[in-house]
Amino acid sequence: MISDIHEFFTPAEWSTIKNYADKQDTPCQIIVSDVVERNFLQLRKGMPYAKIYYAVKANPADEIIQLLSRLGACFDVASIYELRQLLRLGVTPDRMSCGNTIKKTDHIKEFYEAGIRLFVSDSEADLRNIAKAAPGSRIFIRMMTEGVLTADWPLSRKFGCQADMIYDLAVLAKKLGLEPYGISFHVGSQQRDIPAWHTAIQKVKYLFDQLAGDGITLRAVNMGGGFPAHYLEKANSTETYCAEITKYLHEDFVDGLPEIFIEPGRSLVGDSGILVTEVVLISRKSRTSLERWVYTDAGLFNGMMETLNESIKYPLYIPKRGVAEKVILAGPTCDSADTMYENFQYELPLNLSIGDRLYWLTTGAYTASYCSVAFNGFPPMPVHVIRLDEEEKK
Ligand SMILES: *Cc1c(COP(=O)(O)O)cnc(C)c1O
């Protein structure tokens, strides 16, 4: 299974990217910032009414933050470390929210002192900590969602709470002097079932009505991430996601939309990344074995974490052609968990050799940011952010 590079980049674009890549050691990540920009503009066009908070964890490269900041994005920040990075890059606190429901009181205080006034919570203890360390702040209460089976990287059971608890927390927030501002949810990352948003929006509307009846007027819905990048398993286009979700919103909020927030990570940066790797070793486990093991210099600990349980199936491009047979793809470290694809059928040419380069496509999200510091001594991979028109001029 070798993908056609021209489904991802034009011949001219690929030639620019490959020229750049040829000068780099492997493994490395190349981010084509033009693609990030295009994806951002496309999402903004599809949901012009929504405030876009980029989920920094998907790819925190400075250049990506700066680009999105210039385009007018806001940022969903999960820790004081991301906060400090964004402040260093000149992002103002009115464009940040603290979206992590799991946080220390000291850290809430640092967010508050930096000027952040928008927090997400899903538990009484956290809400009380926010009331103490960030008095008067606006609160999104996070709702638990379904969609675990249709998301390629589900999130939901760890986060959010059920409707009865949301109700209680909204009432408590008000009592504690906070401003219950809205309800947030995340239907699961790379959510391929668009109706998952409908189910969530319906529940949110029900809670809006219930709380309004008791004197609490919520203002906003935060629909989280879940929008797609282009992997081997097909997903609908971003336009289709936007059109369908917009329709759901108007169906449920017939009297006009509340403020809408979205927090895309994967869909903005996923398609922009190319992970450039090299074959370290090719072997068979017995004289008659039909499968080759192909070990590459990138694995789960340095970029390919989302191949855990073979969840995300990245498109793979190699220039070599020829008769292809099944391989098992594994990383370079001394841990058998560092095996990317054993069940899924990647077939690579029999003439593949040690030293050949493999280009993993759609690897801009949750790759570089997931690298271990130095498992087995392997360093995190370098990230190169390039702009195609500028590279072409060189
Ligand atoms: C990770 C995360 C996101 C981004 O999700 P994607 O599926 O990558 O778009 C958005 N919001 C929150 C709260 C998250 O934790």
Q: Cα of 235 to ligand 1 centre, how many Å?
A: 17
Could you tell me if residue 235 is inside a domain? yes
Residue type at position 360: W
Q: How far apart are CA 158 and CA 48, in angstroms?
A: 30
Question: Given the CA of residue 365, which atom of ligand 1 is nearest to it?
Answer: 8
Q: Whose CA is nearest to atom 13 of ligand 1?
A: 99
Model-level pTM greater than 0.95?
Answer: yes
Could you tell me if residue 290 is inside a domain? yes
Residue 179, phi then psi, degrees to nearest 5: -110, 105
Question: Given the CA of residue 190, which atom of ligand 1 is nearest to it?
Answer: 7
Ligand 1 lining (C-beta closer than 6 Å): 55, 57-58, 76, 99, 186, 189, 224-227, 263-267
The count of structural domains within the chain is 2
**Best CA proximity match to 208, nearest among 226, 227, 221, 195:** 221
Same domain, 370 and 325: yes
Same domain, 241 and 328: no
Same domain, 201 and 301: no
Q: Are 296 and 332 in contact (CB under 8 A)?
A: yes
Q: Which helix (H) or strand (E) holds 169?
A: helix 163-175
Question: Given the CA of residue 184, which atom of ligand 1 is nearest to it?
Answer: 13
The CATH number of residue 175's host domain is 3.20.20.10
Q: Cα of 264 to ligand 1 centre, how many Å?
A: 6
Q: Whose CA is nearest to atom 11 of ligand 1?
A: 224
Residue 151, SS3?
A: strand
Q: Cα of 185 to ligand 1 centre, how many Å?
A: 10
> What burial letters (b/e) apply to 174-194, b meaning 16+ CB within 10 Å?
bebebbbbbbbbbbbbbbbbb
Q: How far apart are CA 243 and CA 222, in angstroms?
A: 17
Same domain, 95 and 180: yes
pLDDT per position in the chain (394 positions), as tens? Answer: 799 999 999 999 999 999 999 999 999 999 999 999 999 999 999 999 999 999 999 999 999 999 999 999 999 999 999 999 999 999 999 999 999 999 999 999 999 999 999 999 999 999 999 999 999 999 999 999 976 778 888 876 789 999 999 999 999 999 999 999 999 999 999 999 999 999 999 999 999 999 999 999 999 999 999 999 999 999 999 999 999 999 999 999 999 999 999 999 999 999 999 999 999 999 999 999 999 999 999 999 999 999 999 999 999 999 999 999 999 999 999 999 999 999 998 999 999 999 999 999 999 999 999 999 999 999 999 999 999 989 988 8
Q: How far apart are CA 324 and CA 326, in angstroms?
A: 7
Q: Which domain holds residue 368?
A: 5-9+271-389
